[in-house]
Structure 1
Amino acid sequence: MARHYGLLGRLARGTVALTPAGEPGPYLRLLLSILTQATWRGEPPLARLADGRLATEHFNELIQTIRQQARRSDFQRATELWQRVGHPHFQSTEAYLNSLFDQYARLLVVRLDLYYRADSPHGGDGEQSKAHLQQLLNNRRQNSLFEHLVGYLWKLEFGTERGFHYHCVLLFNGAAVREDMTYGDLIGDYWRDVITDGHGSYWNANKPSHHPSWHGALDVGMIAHDDWERRQNLLLKVVSYLAKPDPCLQQGVPEGAKRFRTFGRGEMLRREGVKRGRRRREQKSPLPA
């Protein structure tokens, strides 16, 4: 304990471990916020403070406070989010989305879950689910429904109820299309009726009737390039989940099933010639402060 007492007592705000973007993580922010109230810092362990108690007693209370705060659900969510945004998948996807917003004044964001009916054998067939997604992506070149699609993200998961399934974000040129809920249903119907020949099902997260609290929190639908708050929500509350590594997936797949990619996105746009539209402001960091 004496060693920790000395280390925490000397800890200053300038001595921090940073993320790649220069933001302290949630554990360090929690520690620093509590240390600012520590009256025992700089005192010998057995010194009596103004309230008559030993400095070590205050130190022990601080440790208990840290443990209690770290158990809070909001702190654990913040920690999970912080771990996601430091992953290479998230960082490359952030650059991908920024390139799209550089090219288009606004994007129509559609968030779908694509899976299979409970009575379908395809839910346990990873090769078939992979082929169905590839067919969907390939068909976008000939299907007018995807005429204005400019980008996409997908994540493969495996669950005991749904088997293999995909979480998808589809990004359309917002100057050409609108009505995100309608687009979500049309694409979901296409997955169900055409791609999977009636074996599929879907969840349209753009519908507030499905989860009323989700629609604002997820920030799907039409997002303007200069709406920084909604762009941050898109990254932190939608994209971060898709980019999150899932070490449990490979342990959950049926024995003998082939391993394959669990995350994908469209190609990064190349900037050719003069950029369209007015000059854009410098990008802001989506990382939580």
Structure 2
Amino acid sequence: MYDLNDPHHPDYDTLTEDSMLSLLYSLGDTQCETNAFGMDISSPSYHYWLRDLIKVNKCLKAMARKPAFLDSERLIQSVFFGSDMVRLGSDPLLNMLQTVYTVIVTIFDPQEPMPYRPSPYAESFLWAFQQCAYLHEAGFQIPPTMTRENAEQAVMDLNNRLGAWYEYMTQPSFINQRGRNKRNGRDNCKRVHHLIDSLFACYSRLQVVRVDLSYSKDEGPWIDYETASYHREQLCGLFNTHGLFAHLLGFAWKLEWRPQKGFHYHFLFFFNGHQVRNDVMRASQIGQLWAQQITGGQGVYFSCNRKATNRYKFNACGEVAFNDIHKRKGLIKLASYLTKVDEYASMAVQGRTFQTSPAPRLPDGPRVGRPRQHPLPNFQPESI
């Protein structure tokens, strides 16, 4: 499924696969494992299993969009000419079912479950096919030979399970489950929108800093969720003690996972605009804190504040006044992007993938100081 000798593969190295495996075996304490398709791999198995799970989930979505069934007349073939024994021949849909079954049943084995969360598609596929005797034998051993009568029964069973799966995906319970991420994203967007409005109700000027915190290409595949979560907790623990965050008013973060990058965080910081001026420098300082101190050199960062004016049509980075309509609109668009639930991360972890700081409590009674000359713009979160 993943050819490490392909120069376009993200983990391609100048060493051949055989040379890399020989090197790893020679280290003695390094364990080489296999991915979902039995291929030897030289990176953490959980990283490749997750890649397989994501690819399988895409396959399930494609199958759900175009329902199809197996044709027994074309599929059943004699083992050899004149034989009474037959087997099911190669067929794109059957091959897909075998691959999906093998990956999903292995990952979500009740005896040794991996720390992943099944998507609605994977969960419904398990419901329909987990007890399928033919897929179990063909997927984990070899495609069986059988009598024609048994072959017809096997195809009928597969088609019945396909029909039940297609029907299940039209039910309100599945549709409701499928829309869970979108609903969570809308709720997250409302929370960020409320945080922004509350901050502007208390402070007339904010300094907005956006930094993407991740890991180097070499380290990314080796960073599991527990490690990434620990690093994020270490960073957040400095918000009340480190001088870099002395004037921090609020924040939001989202966890994402990508095959080439692994786990990474998008952080949005709101500083007091009257106390913090240079947003580009502040973004770089936070990134360097992550890369050097928090992750011990494993981390890298990207400052969205650097050249933000040229990079974004609606620039929300840097200084934003409460009555700056253009930048306030950019903030709302940024909130809509930041709060969309990452489907890969939602499958990769059981824990939290998004968080905001509590919104400040609005002051009781009339505001102290000179009245604002312009009303507070009333923006609504964009639909997700």
**TM-score using structure 2 length:** 0.48
> Which position in structure 2 is the counterpart of 1:138?
237
The answer as to 2:253 corresponding to 1:154 is yes
For residue 92 of structure 1, what is the amino acid of its counterpart? R
Supply the distance in 1 between the matched residues of 2:287 and 2:354 (Cα, whole angstroms).
20
After superposition, the Cα gap between the structure-2 partners of 1:229 and 1:97, relative to the gap in structure 1 and judged at 3 Å, is: same
Q: 2:354 aligns with which of 259, 263, 282?
A: 263
Shift in alpha-carbon separation, 1:95–1:196, aligned structure 2, 3 A: same
Match of 1:120 in 2: 219
Q: Distance in 2 between matches of 1:120 and 1:288?
A: 36
Residue 346 of structure 2 is aligned to residue 239 of structure 1: no
For 1:171 and 1:149, locate their aligned partners in 2 and report how far apart those are by CA, in whole Å. Answer: 6
Q: Percent identity over the alignment?
A: 33
Distance 1:102 1:121 in 2: 40
Secondary structure of 2:378's match?
A: coil
- Please tell me whether the aligned partners of residues 152 and 169 of structure 1 are also in contact (alpha carbons under 8 angstroms): yes
Which residue of structure 2 lines up, in the alignment, with residue 195 of structure 1? 294
Q: CA deviation at 1:93?
A: 1.3
Q: Is 1:248 matched with 2:350?
A: no
Report SS of the residue matched to 2:328: helix
Aligned to 2:327: 230
1:173 equivalenced with 2:269 (yes/no): no
Q: Which residue type is aligned with residue 197 of structure 1?
A: G
Pairwise CA distance, 1:282: 4.7
Query: In 2, Cα distance between the equivalents of 1:285 and 1:184?
Result: 26
In structure 1, how many angstroms separate the alpha carbons of the residues matched to 2:232 and 2:222? 13
Q: State the 4+ residue runs in structure 1 displaced beyond 4 angstroms.
A: 83-86
Q: Which amino acid aligns with 1:267?
A: P
- Give the structure 2 partner of residue 48 of structure 1: none
Cα gap change, 1:101/1:127 in structure 2, threshold over 3 Å: closer, same or farther? same
For residue 217 of structure 1, give the secondary structure of its aligned residue in structure 2: coil
**Do residues 89 (structure 1) and 183 (structure 2) align?**
no
Confirm or deny: 8 A CA contact 2:221 2:261 kept in the other structure.
Answer: no
**Residues 156 and 123 (structure 1 numbering): CA distance in 2 closer, same or farther, change over 3 Å?**
farther
Distance (Å, rounded) in 2 between the aligned partners of 1:84 and 1:276: 39
**Partner Cα distance (1:136, 1:90) in 2:** 23
- C-alpha distance in 2 between matches for 1:234 and 1:85: 19
Q: State the 1:207 CA deviation.
A: 0.6
Shift of 1:87: 1.0
Q: CA deviation at 1:234?
A: 1.1
Question: Which has the higher relative contact order, 1 or 2, with Cα contacts under 8 A spaced 6 or more apart?
Answer: 1
Cα pair 1:207 1:215 within 8 Å, conserved: no
Amino acid at match of 1:155: K
- C-alpha distance in structure 2 between counterparts of 1:156 and 1:288, whole Å: 21
Pick closer, same or farther for the CA change 1:171–1:161 going to 2, 3 Å. same
Partner of 1:232, secondary structure, is helix
Could you say what secondary structure the match of 1:111 adopts?
strand
Residue pair 1:89, 1:243 contacting (<8 A) in 2 also: yes
- Cα deviation, 1:199-225, whole Å, max 9, x if unaligned, reads 1100001111xx763245332110001
Give, in angstroms, the shift of residue 141 of structure 1: 1.0
Number of the residue aligned with 1:281: 375
Distance apart, 1:283 and its partner CA: 4.0
| SS of structure 2 residue aligned to 1:145 | helix
Equivalent residue of 1:207, what SS?
A: coil
Question: Partner letter of residue 306 of structure 2?
Answer: K
Using structure 1 for the length normalisation, give the TM-score: 0.63
1:106 corresponds to which residue?
A: 205
CA distance in 2, matches of 1:112, 1:178: 16
C-alpha displacement of 1:246: 2.4
* C-alpha displacement of 1:188: 0.4
Q: Which has the larger radius of gyration?
A: 2
Quick check: 2:314–2:327 contact (8 Å CA) kept in 1?
A: no
**Secondary structure, in 3 states, of the residue corresponding to 1:218?**
coil
Count of residues paired in the alignment: 199
Partner of residue 214, structure 1: 311
Q: Answer whether contact 1:85 1:91 (CA < 8 A) is retained.
A: no
